[in-house]
Amino acid sequence: MIEIEKGSANVYEDLGFPDTAGMQVKATLAAKIGEIVKHRHLTQLQASEILGMPQPKLSGMLRGQFRGISEAKMLECLNRLGRDVEIVVRKPSRARVAGHTRVVFA
């Protein structure tokens, strides 16, 4: 019989990577950037010109290789693709020591 272990909502945490919350945020942002590029039928070269990054770096980001790309750069990419980005800081809904970061698309 095969034993199946249920993972968390963060694959990076499940795999034991450092900075799992940041990696999850970046993965979500990269997926949204890729979705917008695809929806607009842009080639990677066209998208790289709009985003102000070399095409190989964009290609890597869209394939999940985003360690050298900051969250700020990814937010800038969303702006360059015509998306408004809002950052909201609020008190947690329940008492806890540390807050958390999540990305929500409207």
In a domain, 7, yes or no: no
The pLDDT confidence band at residue 21, using thresholds 50, 70 and 90, is confident
- pTM above 0.85? no
In a domain, 51, yes or no: yes
In a domain, 12, yes or no: no
Q: Which domain, by its residues, includes 83? A: 17-106
- 25-52 as b/e, with b when 16 or more CB fall inside 10 Å? bbbebbebbbebbeeeebeeeebbeebe
In a domain, 100, yes or no: yes
In a domain, 41, yes or no: yes
89/101 Cα distance (integer angstroms): 9
In a domain, 45, yes or no: yes
CATH number at residue 25: 1.10.260.40
Number of domains observed in the structure of the chain: 1
| CB-neighbour burial class of residue 66 (10 A; exposed 0-12, middle 13-18, buried 19+) | buried
Give 46-84 pLDDT, tens digit per residue: 999 999 999 999 999 999 998 889 999 999 999 999 999
Helix (H) or strand (E) run with residue 6 in it: none
